[in-house]
């Protein structure tokens, strides 16, 4: 039975069936992206919304998403296209767009400040083939490409696209193996390896969503920021960190929003090691 090689799950997928992510299938004995070119969401977004604070500020980017995800975050902000029941039905009716059509649209939007294409909303790496093909054409057309990802993919899969990506925002959802395993059914070490490979190749910013009583301790944030600082020294590059406020949603409505004071305190903790740390989802002061 064919085995998917995208992430740590290494799903064995029967002919015509789907893997854990809901986006990869087996066709003619080969694992392929069932969501190739199937676009569920598209918008011309400010680059800051990705979030990217220190890459092409003030510009916009054509942001596109498909369906499927290989994590199971109960607090998912895009559950309708990532891993809800609805998400797994998009293969029936999501409209198809070729890489050429996406790049053509991106070029049309240049007069409105568009710099290129952002692969975002759901998890782009579960359909990395479309990211690769579209980003390659986008670069050839003189535009830039952005990837917004959970970083849960094998380095060899990242290598398929890395030469075409100019900037990434990668979720570093916590800095404990237990959070990754028990809360989101993920793999912290795979995410760290993904980040380590990305940092020397393109502009990288990280985002950590702070959930009360789950990943909000100062000790954990100190460990996380210290690890990021080590990457900065190793590669002589600054890595902005976004520390973001949680709001109850999807399958996690039993918790209150993260106190603003907690976010600001964790920003202070991180700034002991990092120069660029930004609070997210808090009222403008």
Crossing angle of helices 99-108/128-140, nearest 10°? Answer: 50
In a domain, 10, yes or no: no
Say if residue 181 is preceded by a cis peptide, omega within 30 of 0.
no
Q: How confident is the model at residue 84 (pLDDT cuts 50, 70, 90)?
A: confident
Q: Which pLDDT belongs to residue 209?
A: 98
In a domain, 14, yes or no: no
Q: How confident is the model at residue 23 (pLDDT cuts 50, 70, 90)?
A: very high
Question: What angle is formed at CA 135 by the lines to CA 15 and CA 88, rounded to 5 degrees?
Answer: 35
Q: Which pLDDT belongs to residue 87?
A: 63
- Inform me whether the pLDDT recorded for 16 exceeds 70: yes
Q: How confident is the model at residue 191 (pLDDT cuts 50, 70, 90)?
A: very high
CA gap 112, 109 in Å, rounded: 5
For the domain that residue 90 is a member of, what is the CATH number?
Answer: 3.20.20.70
In a domain, 68, yes or no: yes
Question: What angle is formed at CA 272 by the lines to CA 246 and CA 50, rounded to 5 degrees?
Answer: 40
Q: Which pLDDT belongs to residue 91?
A: 74
Query: Each residue of 273-283: pLDDT tens digit?
Result: 999 999 999 88
In a domain, 215, yes or no: yes
Smallest CA-to-CA distance from 244 within 101, 85, 49 is with 49
Q: Which pLDDT belongs to residue 126?
A: 98
Average pLDDT over residues 122-126: 97
Q: In the chain, how many domains are there?
A: 1
In a domain, 146, yes or no: yes
Average pLDDT over residues 93-99: 93
**Beta-strand relationship, 277-280 and 241-245:** parallel
- Inform me whether the pLDDT recorded for 238 exceeds 60: yes
In a domain, 8, yes or no: no
Smallest CA-to-CA distance from 252 within 207, 209, 195, 208 is with 209
pTM for this model (two decimals): 0.96
Kindly report the average pLDDT of the chain as a whole number. Answer: 96
In a domain, 285, yes or no: no
Query: Each residue of 52-62: pLDDT tens digit?
Result: 999 999 999 99
Smallest CA-to-CA distance from 52 within 266, 175, 272, 203 is with 203
CA gap 156, 167 in Å, rounded: 18
Query: Each residue of 240-270: pLDDT tens digit?
Result: 999 999 999 999 999 999 999 999 999 999 9
Domain membership of residue 42 as a residue range: 24-280
- Inform me whether the pLDDT recorded for 285 exceeds 60: no
In a domain, 3, yes or no: no
Query: Each residue of 136-164: pLDDT tens digit?
Result: 999 999 999 999 999 999 999 999 999 99
CA gap 46, 48 in Å, rounded: 5
Q: Name residue 241's beta-bridge partners.
A: 206, 277
DSSP letters for 58-87 = T-EEEEEE-S--S---TT-TTHHHHTSTTG
Question: What angle is formed at CA 199 by the lines to CA 195 and CA 201, rounded to 5 degrees?
Answer: 120
Number of C-beta neighbours around residue 125 at 10 A: 27
């Amino acid at each position: 039975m064919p085995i998917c090689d995208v992430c740590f799950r290494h799903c064995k997928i029967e002919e015509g069936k789907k893997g854990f992510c809901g986006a990869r299938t087996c066709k003619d004995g080969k694992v392929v992206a069932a969501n190739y070119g199937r676009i569920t969401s598209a918008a011309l977004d400010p680059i800051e919304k990705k979030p990217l604070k220190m890459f092409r500020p003030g510009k916009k980017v054509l942001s596109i998403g498909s369906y499927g995800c290989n994590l199971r975050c109960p607090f998912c902000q895009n559950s309708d296209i990532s891993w809800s029941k609805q998400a797994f039905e998009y293969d029936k009716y999501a409209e198809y767009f070729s890489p050429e059509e996406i790049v053509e649209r991106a070029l049309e939007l240049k007069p409105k400040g568009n710099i290129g294409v952002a692969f975002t909303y759901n998890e782009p790496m579960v359909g990395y083939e479309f990211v690769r093909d579209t980003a390659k054409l986008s670069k050839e057309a003189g535009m830039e490409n952005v990837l917004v990802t959970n970083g849960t993919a094998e380095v060899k899969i990242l290598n398929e696209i890395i030469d075409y990506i100019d900037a990434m925002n990668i979720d570093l959802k916590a800095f404990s193996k237990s959070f990754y395993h028990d809360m989101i059914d993920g793999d912290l070490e795979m995410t760290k390896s993904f980040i380590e490979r990305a940092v020397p190749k393109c502009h990288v910013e990280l985002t950590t969503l702070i959930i009360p009583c789950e990943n909000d301790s100062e000790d954990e944030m100190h460990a996380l920021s210290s690890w990021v600082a080590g990457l900065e020294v190793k590669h002589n590059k600054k890595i902005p960190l976004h520390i973001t406020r949680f709001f109850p949603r999807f399958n996690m409505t039993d918790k209150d929003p993260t106190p603003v004071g907690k976010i600001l305190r964790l920003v202070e903790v991180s700034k002991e090691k990092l120069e660029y740390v930004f609070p997210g989802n808090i009222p403008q002061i």
